[in-house]
Amino acid sequence: MRAERAATALLGLVIMACGGARQMPRVAAGPAPVEVQTTLVRLISSAFEADARLDSADSLYAPAATVVSGGRPVLSIPRFAGIEAGGQIEVSVNELQVRPGLAWALVDYSWSRIGIPQTREGRATVVLAPAPTRSGWWIIHVHSSVGAGS
């Protein structure tokens, strides 16, 4: 019985020795510069405001950007769930993560019809990347939905 345990332990050590050290991916430490954060929040807000005006704002999106609204792909405006023409939008970027070459934001928004007490609360995830064909950033993916009671 002891010989079996010793053989098992020895086999385990041999297997561990063959594996080599694992390298964890490195992520740049520290927050993104304030200018970058401000630029991204403005870009995200502009996309929501354009939807409320039913303006395509295509310059804010990468040519191959994917948009999912309420679980369905969207190919036209409005891009965000629960937004229609003739309304007012309020946007709150709750979380913004910026990494080299990629950023994502968690956004809560509220769309209200002007003059009518109708409000829709929504949430969106927005993924952004530096635009290789121009300076600045653009949206490469959006996924949004409205609350069940909206």
Identify whether 11 is part of a domain.
no
Per-residue pLDDT tens for 6-38? 444 433 433 334 443 333 333 344 556 889 999
In a domain, 97, yes or no: yes
- Specify if 49 maps to a domain: yes
Pairing of the two strands 72-73 and 61-69 = antiparallel
Does pLDDT of 111 surpass 50? Answer: yes
Here the CATH number for the domain that contains residue 141 is 3.10.450.50
Residue-wise pLDDT for 41-90, tens only, equals 999 999 999 999 999 899 999 999 999 999 999 999 999 999 988 789 99
Judged against a pLDDT cut of 70, whether residue 148 lies above it is answered with no
The total number of structural domains that make up the chain: 1
pLDDT of 149 strictly over 60: no
User: Is the pLDDT assigned to residue 97 strictly greater than 60?
Assistant: yes
* pLDDT for the residue numbered 41: 97
Answer yes or no: is 20 within a domain.
no
Question: Binning pLDDT at 50, 70 and 90, where does residue 5 land?
Answer: very low
Q: Three-state DSSP class for 105?
A: strand
Q: What pTM was estimated for this model as a whole?
A: 0.75
Please confirm whether the linkage preceding 33 is cis (ω < 30° from 0). no
CA-to-CA distance for 96 and 119, rounded, in angstroms?
Answer: 25
Domain assignment of residue 115, yes or no: yes
Domain that holds residue 38: 33-146
Residue 61 is assigned to a structural domain of this protein: yes
Q: What angle do CA 142, 50, 141 make, to 5 degrees?
A: 10
Element (H, E) at 50: helix 34-52
Residue 119 C-alpha from the chain's centroid: 24
- pLDDT for position 31: 58
